[in-house]
Amino acid sequence: MSRIKTTVYLRATDYGRLKSIADAENRSAAELIREAVGEYTTRKVRALLPRSIGMGDSGVPDLAERYEDYLHGFGEDTPAGDVPEADGEPGRPDSGAAPHGDRA
């Protein structure tokens, strides 16, 4: 892992507490600062992602891999009488059902 040297000015009280914690944990102050910055930036990056990501579940396990198949023909006019079935294959309407556009 590559590192970049930087200088940070801390308040004296914060530095004193940091040194106390580092001594108690037998770690360096620099190690604690790297850990704290890593945790903070990870949390912030997650907070920047839109909250809508991952909210929905289509119930279709392969939707992401086969989205083009599922969208094939989307927006095109469907000939009267052709109704897509649940498995995505075109089918015929039930014998008692009126075709699209023919409402009694």
Residue 93 tokens, joined = 């309407």
> Confidence class of residue 85 from pLDDT cuts 50, 70 and 90?
low
pLDDT of residue 18: 97
Q: Quick check: helix, strand or coil at residue 87?
A: coil
**Angle of helix 29-48 versus helix 12-24 axis, rounded to 10:** 110
55/45: higher pLDDT: 45
31 backbone dihedrals φ, ψ, rounded to 5°: -65, -45
Work out the average pLDDT over 31-39: 96
SS3 category, 84? strand
Note the pLDDT of residue 67.
83
Structure tokens at 82: 């052709």
Displacement of CA 20 from its chain's centroid (Å):
39
